[in-house]
Amino acid sequence: MESQDLDELLDRIVALYADRVANGRAGDVDDLLSQVPDAQRPALARCLEMVELGAAPLAVPKPLVPGSVLGGCRIVATIGRGGVATVHRAEQTALRRTVALKVLRPGLAVDPRQVARFRREGLAVARLEHPNVVKIHDVGQQDGHLYLVMELVDGKDLAKALEELPPAPARTGADLERALRSGDRLGGHIVQGHVDGVAQVARVESRADAQVLDLALPSGLAELMVQHGSVAVDGVSLTVNDLPAPNVLQISLIAYTLARTNLGSLGVGDPVHIEADMLGKYVQRLLEPWDT
């Protein structure tokens, strides 16, 4: 079942049970729970229990469709749906202006925490004055619907905007490695994601089995490098292939690394972040004279 279809089904079930409770049929929930997937039943059961306990108003909200009026706004069309609310294009009739009408999903209106959070959103945003923040015109509740009347900013949705973006330059990605969990196997490289300095690509050589890069290191980092030791370059844990010259670090990018990172797009002159092996930094610190 699609996420949007499931959300709408949950809302209808909550509204139906509120009607049952109002008509003295509390506890009659088995047929309602059977309509949703097993994974959703515990959460739905809690929502229905809250309705029964009176945590939410028992008025059954009528579905909002084009032409419905809420908070002095006549709905023109539905713009989009999210996990918390539905947003409609509407006309604020008294002021004759087009607005966005954001309505909390009925299925969430049974949770006092969600209601409080929705109200806080309106109150918080209403205090802001900035060109990049939409204005809040009103907040209220009517016929079981909690709503915000907001400034409508016409434009594309995010999905459409992303589709129309031009092709991204080669090095716009980020290389991320998941942190080790307690008990995971250590493969020999111990880095933390810090940046000890910025190096510059001095040479790039393509070989049959790898791409080799020489990196010019900033002052103070070369002494932490050990041939066949470890180093992190732009967040990627690698082996120090060689130290071919003073203050020069050489790395070798094999096919696996080239396929899973953006390091293969590096060219001469590009800057890269360097993190030295953590154990090497501790050894260096222990060998330094201590201030007395």
Going residue by residue through the chain, which has 292 residues, state the pLDDT in tens, using 9 for 90 and above: 555 567 677 777 877 777 777 777 777 788 888 888 888 788 777 777 766 655 444 455 778 899 999 999 999 999 888 778 899 999 999 999 999 999 988 767 666 777 778 888 888 888 888 888 889 999 888 888 889 999 998 887 777 777 887 775 555 555 566 666 777 776 666 667 788 899 999 999 998 889 999 999 988 888 888 888 889 998 888 989 999 999 999 999 999 888 888 888 889 999 999 998 888 887 878 887 766 5
pLDDT value of residue 76:
96
* Cα–Cα distance measured from residue 56 to residue 111, given in angstroms and rounded to the nearest whole number: 7
In the chain, the largest separation of any two C-alpha atoms, in whole Å, equals 85
Global pTM reads: 0.46
DSSP 48-115: HHHHHTTSS----PPPP-TT-EETTEEEEEEEEE-SSEEEEEEEETTTTEEEEEEEE-TTTTT-HHHH
Strand partners for 70 = 73
* Beta-strand pair 73-81/97-104: unpaired
Q: Name the burial class of residue 58, with classes exposed (0-12), middle (13-18) and buried (19+) by CB atoms within 10 angstroms of its CB.
A: middle
pLDDT value of residue 67:
95
pLDDT value of residue 58:
46
Three-state SS at 13: helix
pLDDT value of residue 96:
93
Q: Name the burial class of residue 31, with classes exposed (0-12), middle (13-18) and buried (19+) by CB atoms within 10 angstroms of its CB.
A: exposed
pLDDT value of residue 250:
94
pLDDT value of residue 133:
86
Query: Which DSSP helix (H) or strand (E) runs through 15?
Result: helix 3-22
pLDDT value of residue 55:
47
pLDDT value of residue 143:
84
pLDDT value of residue 99:
96
Residue 162 makes CB contacts below 8 A (sequence gap 6+) with none
* Cα–Cα distance measured from residue 128 to residue 234, given in angstroms and rounded to the nearest whole number: 38
Q: Which of 276, 236, 270 is CA-nearest to residue 256?
A: 236
